[in-house]
Amino acid sequence: MKPIRLAAGLGAAFMLSATVSTIALAQAPVCSAPVKVLAQPRDGLTLLEDSKAEFEKLAGAGFQIDYLNENDRRAKSRADASTVGNYNVYYVDEANVALFASSKWIVPLTDYYPADYDYADFDPGRQKVATFDGKVWFAPLTGGGDLMVYRKDVLEAAGIQPPKTLDELIADVPKLTNPDKGMYGIALRGARGSGANVWRWMPFFKAYGGQWFDGDKPVFNSDAAVKATETYLKLFKDSAPGTQTGSWDESTGAFLSGQVAILVESTPLSGMAVDPKTSQVVGKIGFLPPPSPLPGGGYGHGLAIAAKANADDASKKCAGLFIAWATSKENEKRRLDAHQFGELNRTSILSSKEFADIYGADLGQALAETGKVTAVNFWQDPRWPDLGDRWGIILEELVTGTRTDIKGGLNELDAYANELAKKK
Amino acid sequence: MARRTSLPVTFVVPTIAILLVLSMVPTLYAIVIALQNRELSTPDYSWVWLSNFVDLFLDRRFLNAVWVSVKWEIVTVVATMVVAIGLGVLMFEVASPRLRNIYCLLFIIPVLLPRVSAAFVWKFAYHPLYGIATYPYRLLTGGLIFDPLSKPATALFAVASVDVWQWGLFFAVIVLKLLETLPPQPIEAARLDHAKRWQIHAYVTLPMLKAPLISLMFVKMIESLRSFDLIYVMTRGGPGVATETLDMYAFSQGFIESGKVSYASAMAVLMMIATVITFTMLWKRVQA
C-alpha cells in the first residue's frame, strides 16, 4: 500500500503545486506600469477614463491619456515614434497608418490582441482601413464613410427636393444660400491638410474619374483633378463663413447651429445632428447617401501598439490588452448608452435593437445605403500625408484667393509627386 | 601689486561651461544634421553637405516665409512700440495716480495670459459670424461678413494685433513707469518755455528715455521671433502661406508634413545666422 500512498501523495502534491502556479499566473498582472497613450480628444476616450479602475483591476496598472487636436496629435506622435518613444499606444488614422507601419513605429495589432475580445466583430470597412500590407495595425475608435445631411424645412421652403446627383447638388446649393437670413447652401472644409480640405475634395476627384496613378506615373494634374477643383471652388462660394480656413469643427458647427442647408460630411455628424445637446436642428433633418457619383470617404481612427516604448513582449501584451479593453463590446455598449454615435464600431452594436431604438430607422437605412458607396479615396502609401498636406496648402490658397491658377497648382503638386515617387 | 585669487574663475567657469554645453551642443547638432538628409521615417541618411541650403533658395515657400517673417517683425515691433509710447504718454498726461495704477493692472493682464490661450480667445473673437471683434463690422454694414483670418491681406495683421495687444499694453506700463522716474526739472523748464505737451515728449522726455526704449525694442524684436505658438493656433500659417513664418515652415517640414528634419534644420541654421548678423549690426548702429 505504501507505494500507492506515496504515488497518491506525490500526485496530490503535483496537482496542488500546479493549481497554485496557475492561480499565481492568473493573478500575475499583465502590466507593470501605467499605459501611456497619445490620442486626440474623443468622447469615447473621455468616457473610458471613468472606468479606469476596471482596467487597473484587469491589468494591474492604470493608463494615462494625453490629448492633442488632430494635426498636433499627428505631428507629436510622429516625432515621438521616430525619436524618444514615450508612448505605449498611439492614436493613428487612415492617413498615417501606412507611414507608421512601414516605418516600424507600430507593431501588428492582432499578435497581441487577446482573442476573447473578438476583433472580427468590428465593422468590415473599418477593418479594411486598419489593414496595411496584409496586416492589421489598429483597433477602431471611430470610422465610417460620408452621409448627406440636409435641412428638410429649408429645402421644402425653397421647393427643392434633396439632391440625388452631383449636378443637382451644384444647381441647388446657390438657390439655398440666403446670407440675409443667415443661411448658406453648403459647408466645406478650407483648412489645409490631407485630413482636412483634401479629405472633402477627394470625393469630387474620384467622382470625375480621377486616379492618382497611370501605371507607375503620378497623374495628380489630370483633367479630373482640374474639374474637381473647379467644382469645389464653385461650391465654396456658398459655403458658410468661417469654413474657408476651417475644417470639420467649423463646417459641422455651422450646420448644427442652423446655418447650413446641405452638408456632406463624415458619418459621426449624423449622431451629433440628432442629439439635442449638440444640435439646434433636431427634428428638421434628413439623411441620404452622398449625391451620385460622389463616393463616401472611408476612414478609420484607432489605437495601435507603439514599437519603441514597448521594447519587450510583456509591454506589447500590456498595450494590446489596453487596446482590446478600450475597444471591447462592454465599453462600446457604454458609449451607445451615452449616445456617442460616432464612437460605435462593432457590428454587434450597430445592428442591435438598442441602436435602432435610439437613432431610428431612417439613419440606419442611410448608413446601410452609404456603406455601398464608401471607398478609400486617398493614396494608401507612407508618402500620402506629405503629398496630401502639400495639396492641402495649394488648395487652401485657391479657396482663399491667394492663388488662382488651378492647373498651375496641380502641376506643382504633380512635380512634387514625381519627386516623391522616385524615392521609393 | 594686486593679489591673484581663484574666486572669479571658480564662479565663472562652471557657469560658462554649462551655458556652452546647453547652447553649443544643440546648435552644433543642428548644423551637423543640416548637412545630411535625415528624415523621420527612416534611420538611413547620408551627407549632402550644402544641398539643403541650395534647395531652400529654390523653394518658393521658404522665400515666402522669409518675407512673411520680415513683415511680421516690422509690423509687430513698430506697432508695439507705437502703442506702448502712445498709451504710456497718454496715461502720464491725463490719468491721476490712482487711475494710472488701475490702468497698469488692466494692461498687464493680457501678457500674463499664456500665448496659446490668447490665440484661442482671439481666434473666436475674429469669427465672422459670432466673433466680438467682427461684430461692429456686421452692425455697421447691416450684417455683411468679415473674416479677417481667411483673407490673405488681413490675416497677418489680425494675428499681429493679438501680439500687440499682449506686448504693447505691457510695454505701455513700462513706458509710464519710466516717465515717472524722470527728473521733473527739464519738463518744468520746457513748460516755462511754453512748449506744448507733444513737444515736451518729442524733444525732452522721449530722448531722455532713448536707451531704455531701445532696450525694449530689442526685447520685442527677440520676442517677435518666437511667434510660432500664436500663428500656429490662429492660422496655422494660412490662408495658404500668407502667415507662414520661418519657424512655422521649419516645423511643418520637420514634423507636420514630410518629416524632413535635415531640411528643417537647414532653415533653423539660416535663421540663426541671419538673426545674429542682423542683431549685431543693429546693436552696433545703436551704440554708435
**Could you give the ipTM of this predicted complex?**
0.83
Of B237, B240, B257, the CB nearest to A386: B257
> Per-residue pLDDT for A290 more than 50?
yes
CA dist A177 and A187 (Å) reads 11
**pLDDT tens string A98-112:** 999 999 999 999 999
**pLDDT tens string B202-251:** 999 999 999 999 999 999 999 999 899 999 999 999 899 999 999 999 99
- CB count in 10 Å sphere of residue A224: 17
Mean predicted confidence (pLDDT) in A76-80: 91
> Per-residue pLDDT for A20 more than 50?
no
CA dist A134 and A172 (Å) reads 43
- Which class would CATH give A30-143+299-351? alpha beta
Mean predicted confidence (pLDDT) in A58-84: 92
State the smallest CA–CA distance between residue B240 and chain A in angstroms.
4
Q: Does B64 contact A at CB distance below 8 Å? A: no
State the smallest CA–CA distance between residue B146 and chain A in angstroms.
8
- The rounded mean pLDDT for chain B is 93
pLDDT band at B59 (very low <50, low <70, confident <90, very high): very high
Closest by CA position to B133, among listed B108, B165, B102: B165
**Pairing status of strand A296-297 against strand A135-136:** unpaired
Residue type present at position A152: K
CATH fold for domain A146-297+369-423: D-Maltodextrin-Binding Protein; domain 2 (3.40.190)
- CB count in 10 Å sphere of residue A226: 17
List the grid coordinates of A294: 460622389
Q: What is the pLDDT of residue A24?
A: 42
Enumerate the residues of chain B whose CB falls inside 8 A of the CB of residue A416: none
Domains and CATH numbers, chain B: 76-244 (1.10.3720.10)
Contact between chains at B257 and A385 (C-beta distance less than 8 A): yes
Mean predicted confidence (pLDDT) in A184-212: 95
Closest by CA position to A141, among listed A19, A323, A322: A323
**pLDDT tens string A221-272:** 999 999 999 999 999 999 999 999 999 989 999 999 999 999 999 988 888 8
Q: What is the pLDDT of residue A128?
A: 83
Determine the residue of chain A that is closest to B41 in CA distance.
Answer: A103
Residue to mutate among B150, B258, B260, B262, with most A CBs inside 10 A, is B150
**pLDDT tens string A346-387:** 989 888 889 888 887 778 778 878 878 888 899 888 888 889
Determine the residue of chain A that is closest to B129 in CA distance.
Answer: A241
Contact between chains at A400 and B145 (C-beta distance less than 8 A): no
Q: What is the pLDDT of residue B3?
A: 64
- The rounded mean pLDDT for chain A is 90
State the smallest CA–CA distance between residue A314 and chain B in angstroms.
26
Contact between chains at A179 and B143 (C-beta distance less than 8 A): yes
Determine the residue of chain A that is closest to B61 in CA distance.
Answer: A393
> Per-residue pLDDT for B117 more than 50?
yes
pTM of the model as a whole: 0.82
**pLDDT tens string A302-318:** 999 999 999 999 999 99
All structural domains of chain A with their residue ranges: 30-143+299-351, 146-297+369-423
> Per-residue pLDDT for A19 more than 50?
no
Q: Are B260 and B254 in contact (CB under 8 A)?
A: yes
Q: What is the pLDDT of residue A9?
A: 56
> Per-residue pLDDT for A18 more than 70?
no
Contact between chains at A241 and B258 (C-beta distance less than 8 A): no
Mean predicted confidence (pLDDT) in A282-295: 94
